[in-house]
Amino acid sequence: MTSNKEKIFAYIEENEQSSVVELDRVLDIERVMIHRHLKALLEEGRIEKIGKSPKVFYIVKKGISGKILSFDKDSMSQEEQESIQDNFLFITPSGERQKGIEGFVRWCRDRHYDAYKKAIEYSAIYQKYESFRKYGLIDGMEKFRQTFGKDCAVDSVYYVDVYAWEVFGKTKLGQLLLYAKQSQNKDMIREIVSMIRPLIDRLLEKHAVSAIGYIPPTIKRSVQFIEELKKELNLSYPEIRLEKISGEVAVPQKSLSQLKDRIENAQSSIFVTEKKKYETILLIDDAVGSGATFQEVALKIKKRSLAKKVICFAVTGSAKGFDVISEV
């Protein structure tokens, strides 16, 4: 006899989608058991959940048709398992999170990659970027020295993770940042804050920061990432005043592909209106690509003798020298 779990799977497969309400209506199965069987099917990787309560639908996972596709994670080394389980995130085209080893296998299958070989490659790239970390943060100072040379006004620059890797694309944090900004999702912003708050606290203490400046956004949104970030961090430090001024046409820096254009944009659009002087100022932004904004704001701070040191922090940064992160 077909089990109730298999009846549920068969119904979803035949109808291409179903909700709990629909399953309850058409199948002679108690609702509590429907939830239990759906949970089991999700854990087995046979179905996906689309949406969030109260509008949730279940569909058969891509590549699954009446059978479970297996993958033996024990074929990976412990190091490979940990790097993937803790750091891999894949957001499907339908907007569902696939994380850890399960998400990695799904990502590989969608691209017809050998998951075993890609696991080795993923672990190697992960270790490469881990080697750049100091105090749990990526140190981007060498990138700034190469880009701005002797004119570099930034004393230290850090970001939590690179925005995207070679081969594997956007990192876990890169994806969270992208979708938090695009969807203006406050819950996702809070999730990011919970990940980065301990690192910011460590940075504040290490550099004896005396004031903070938040880089103002260019694009108008009803929910501004940097404003929500500031509110959620709720740091008890003086805040220096930074003003964003637009010309006749507001030109987002991310739309500019030349370093000189980005520098000109930052020079002409961000103004430091602070008058009080501090020992060390920490500038905070969501992402650092070319570094032009941090560089120009730091220059203005130092030209006005507002601080002896300018430390910069971004949620994500580029993985190479001059770069353009156009999505965020």
Question: What percent of the chain shows pLDDT beyond 90?
Answer: 37
Answer with the residue of higher pLDDT: 183 or 157. 157
Contact in structure between 325 and 289 (CB atoms under 8 Å): yes
**Which pTM value belongs to this model?**
0.75
290: pLDDT confidence band, cut at 50, 70 and 90? Answer: confident
Specify the DSSP class assigned to residue 327.
-
**pLDDT score for 132:** 82
Asked if pLDDT for residue 261 goes beyond 90, the answer is: no
**pLDDT score for 200:** 94
Q: Which of 158, 256, 274 is nearest to 212 (CA)?
A: 274
Asked if pLDDT for residue 64 goes beyond 80, the answer is: no
Q: Which of 228, 205, 291, 132 is nearest to 312 (CA)?
A: 291
Mean pLDDT of 87-113: 84
The CA distance from 293 to 154, in Å, is: 11
68: pLDDT confidence band, cut at 50, 70 and 90? Answer: very low
**Spatial CB neighbours of 119, under 8 Å, sequence gap ≥ 6:** 76, 80, 84, 104
Extended strands (E) in 220-323? 242-244, 270-272, 278-288, 307-317
Paired tokens of 57: 């639908």
Considering the segment(s) 133-317 as one domain, its CATH architecture is 3-Layer(aba) Sandwich (3.40)
- What burial class does residue 127 get, using C-beta atoms within 10 Å of its C-beta: 0-12 exposed, 13-18 middle, 19+ buried? exposed
Mean pLDDT of 260-285: 80
Domain spanning 4-60, CATH class: mainly alpha
**pLDDT score for 213:** 95
Q: Tell me the Cα Rg of the chain.
A: 24
Q: Residue 166: what residue type?
A: E
CATH 3.40.50 domain span(s) along the chain: 133-317
Query: Which residues make beta-bridge pairs with 133?
Result: 138
CATH 1.10.10.10 domain span(s) along the chain: 4-60
Q: Which of 326, 325, 316 is nearest to 157 (CA)?
A: 316
